[in-house]
Structure formats: structure tokens, C-alpha cells
Amino acid sequence: MKIVYLMDSLNRGGAETLALDVCRNAKNNGLDIIFVATGGGLLEDDFRVSGVEFIRLNRRLPLDIGLVAKIRKILTSRAIDIIHVHQAVEAIHAYSAAFGTKTKIVFTHHGFIPDNKNLYALKFLLTRIDQNIVCSKALLEWYQTETKLNFPANTQIIQNGVDPDRITAPAKEIRDELAIPEKATLFGMIGNFYRDPRKDQLTLCKALPKIITKIPDAYCIFVGKTEPGGEAVFEECRSICESNNLTHRVNFDGSRNDIPYVLKSLDIFVLSSLHEGFPISVLEAMLSGTPCLLSDIKPNLEISKSGVFAEVFETQNENELADKLIRLANDKEFMFDLAIRAKNFANREYSIDSHLNKLKRLYESVIL
């Protein structure tokens, strides 16, 4: 069974991180994968040394016929059984390249909020794809109610996974780098600043004055780049910190390549999202042994089993966020217990091996 993984962007994000973990663990799980990139990004070097064959192409147009021809040549010359995609732009090119061949198409939906162009593409693709995967039950419900996409019968839920070996690498303390005292309470959030309502760093920023009043040694870090169109959100967050004289307690650290080290340095991981699929950052935090504080959107409830393995707060309620974080920080025994239970649970349910076992069974069913 030969599989092509096709991705248009290699910048750091949940889908890209998942794909990288898949590539690094493919051979140990009996999968023969060729990774084909049609665009570059911060993770390109990581994919090149991930343990699978790497092919770099370039997409020059929204629908690049020349690129379609190159992908088709790979599919036919290598006798590829399955091409696996993660976004609409990849799926359109995969569908065009595989048309009339024996190659089956698998499309994983991660919860990107589609604009009109991508929405039309998804409506066209859903019934033409051999197998659709949605990464959470909550996300499938969101697609059907909010975007009015009707997923066909060939849809299966496979939750994301994370490589524990990557997360449990030796810690590198970032407090010295950021001039944060060793014994300070450090909490933070990992997520890019987007134009559309997605990560909601704003609610955490609004909670900061109350948190730092109650926890005088508290520091906060935001990790994530500002995507085009997200500049206003970033500036509003920074403005809140400046107007409350908190700039010396808050780091906006941009994109980083050492997320496992950041997580190991945190006392508490916060995710105040408005929209998620099945967030990789939460899985990484759980596996790193960092207690999580999550907004109560359905994907976060699904990943934490309705708050059994993470503390949850009402979405966009900065006061409840602050109160829950203060409680965690002041109850070390509870915080430690929550972290250990979540880590054990994530190792059982959300490891990359668990994800790949489900994926392999799905691949086998598709090519029968």
C-alpha cells in the first residue's frame, strides 16, 4: 500500500504538525508514505528529514494545471494507492490528478473556517472524495449546522494524535530567555492570531489584570504568528496589556519551533478558543504533563471528556477564566493531579500510534 501525503503549506499549524508526526512514525506502523509539498514553510526542513521520501513542487495558480500534471505523474508512475489531503486547495488538485486513475482520495477536515471560495470547493468535493475524515464529533456537528455542509456516508471520525517521544524530549527552560523569574507562575497560550473568530487571545488578555492582582508573581506568554488579516486582533491584545501596565508581565513571542520546550516551562496551558477541530496544542500540553484550562466549546469538551482531564471555563468569560486559573495556581496538589491524570489519559487515547492504527485500517478499507 503506497500513500502520497499532499500538503500546500508547511507552516506551523495543527494539520502540519499532525502530518509531520505521521511521517516520522509511518515506517514503524507499516505505512509507505511519500510526502509531496506544493508550497514551503517553517517546517520544510523537518519534513525533509522525517523518514519518508520528500518531493517539493510549487503551486503558482489557485488551480495549477501544470501542478496537476506533475502530481498525476507521481500517482501513475509510483502506482500510488491513496492520496491524502487536508485542505480544499490540495483536494481540488488531488481530485484532478487522480481522475481516471486507480488512486483513491482521502480528505481529512480539520475545522478551517472556509471562505466562500473554499466553501464552494468543499461542496463540490465531499461526494467525489473516496473517504472523508473529520477529526472530532463536535467538528462534524459544526460543519453540518454552521456551514450547511452535508457530509456523505463515507465519512469517519478519527481524532488527532501526537508523538509522545517528541513531547517528552528533555526540557529546555525558556524562563531565562524571557527574563522570567524561576519561581514565578508562568501560564500561556499557543495559537496564531487570525482575522476570523478562532483562537480568542483577547479573552485571556482581558483576564490578565484580575489574575496578576491575585497572583503577584504571574507571567503570561503568547506563542503564535500573526496571520494576514489578524493584525487588528494582535494590536487589540497588546493594547489591553499596555493600558493595564502589564507589558513587563506579558510576552508576545511570535512563532517558535520549540513548542514542547515552551509547554514544559508552563505551569498552566490556556486555550480560550472560539473554534477548534481537535486542537493539537491541547494534546501536546496533556502529553507534556502541563495542566490545561480550556474554553468550553464542544471540541475542547470532547478532548477533555467534559472537563475530567482539564479545567474548563465559559467561553469568552474572562472573569471565570481568571478565577479558574487563580484556583489552579493556588492549589498545587490539584494542579499536579490534573496534569498526571491528563497525561496518562492522552498517552492511552491520543498517541500517534493510536491515530496511525485507525488510519491504517481506514486505508485498507478504502482500497479493498
Q: Check whether 346 has a pLDDT greater than 90.
A: yes
Range of the domain at 355: 2-161+351-367
Mean pLDDT of the chain: 94
CA 33-100-95 angle, to 5 degrees, is 60
Q: Give 173 or 119, the one with higher predicted confidence.
A: 119
pLDDT higher than 80, residue 57: yes
- Binned at pLDDT 50, 70 and 90, residue 137 comes out as very high
Q: Domain check: are 134 and 198 in the same one?
A: no
Same domain, 276 and 190: yes
Cell of 261: 520546550
Note whether 333 and 359 are same-domain residues. no
Question: What is the predicted pLDDT for the residue at 368?
Answer: 85
Domain count, the chain: 2
**Length reported for the chain:** 368
- Pull the grid cell for residue 319: 472573569
In this prediction, residue 171 carries a pLDDT of 57
φ/ψ (deg, to 5) at 366:
-70, -35
Instruction: Give pLDDT, residue 272.
Output: 97
Same domain, yes or no: 326 and 362: no
Q: What is the pTM (predicted TM-score) of this model?
A: 0.91
Q: 83: number of CA atoms within 13 Å, CB side?
A: 30
Q: DSSP states of 314-362 as a string? A: -TT-HHHHHHHHHHHHH-HHHHHHHHHHHHHHHHHHSBHHHHHHHHHHH
- Do residues 340 and 356 both lie within one domain? no
The pLDDT, as a whole number, for residue 177 is: 86
Q: How far, in Å, CA of 67 to CA of 47, rounded?
A: 20
Q: How far apart are CA 319 and CA 335, in angstroms?
A: 19
SS (H, E, C) 73-94: HHHHHCCCCEEEECCHHHHHHH
**Amino acid at the residue 19:** A
The tens digit of pLDDT for each residue in 59-89 reads 999 999 999 999 999 999 999 999 999 999 9
Whether residues 15 and 54 fall in one domain: yes
At residue 172 the predicted structure's pLDDT band, cuts being 50, 70 and 90, is: low
258 band by pLDDT with thresholds 50, 70 and 90: confident
**Both 345 and 358 in a single domain?**
no
Same-domain pairing of 144 and 214: no
Cα distance from N-terminal residue to C-terminal residue, the chain: 11
Rounded-to-integer distance, Cα 164 and Cα 290, Å: 13
Give CA–CA dist 7/90, Å, rounded: 6
**pLDDT value at 293 more than 60:** yes
Query: Residue 237 — φ and ψ, nearest 5°?
Result: -65, -45
Which pLDDT band holds residue 176 (cuts at 50, 70, 90)? confident
pLDDT interval class at 347 (50, 70, 90): very high
Contact 235, 205 (CB under 8 A): no
pLDDT in the model for residue 170: 59
Lowest mean pLDDT: which of 107-116, 150-159, 267-276? Answer: 107-116
Query: Sorting pLDDT into bands at 50, 70 and 90, what band is 125?
Result: very high
Question: Looking at the structure, do residues 154 and 211 belong to the same domain, yes or no?
Answer: no
User: Which band of pLDDT confidence, cut at 50, 70 and 90, is reported for residue 175?
Assistant: confident
How would DSSP label each residue in 244-266? TT-TTTEEE----S-HHHHHHH-
From the list 79, 127, 80, 137, the residue with the least C-alpha distance to 107 is 127
Same domain, 314 and 205: yes
Q: Are residues 135 and 183 in the same domain?
A: no
pLDDT reading at 215 higher than 70: yes
The answer to whether residue 105 scores a pLDDT higher than 90 is yes
List of E strands, the chain = 2-7, 32-37, 53-56, 82-85, 104-109, 131-134, 155-157, 185-190, 218-223, 250-252, 268-271, 292-295, 311-313
Are residues 238 and 332 part of one domain?
yes
Per the CB < 8 A criterion, the answer to whether 59 and 41 are in contact is no
Helix (H) or strand (E) holding 274: none
The pLDDT value recorded for residue 44 is 96
> What CATH number is given to the structural domain containing 125?
3.40.50.2000
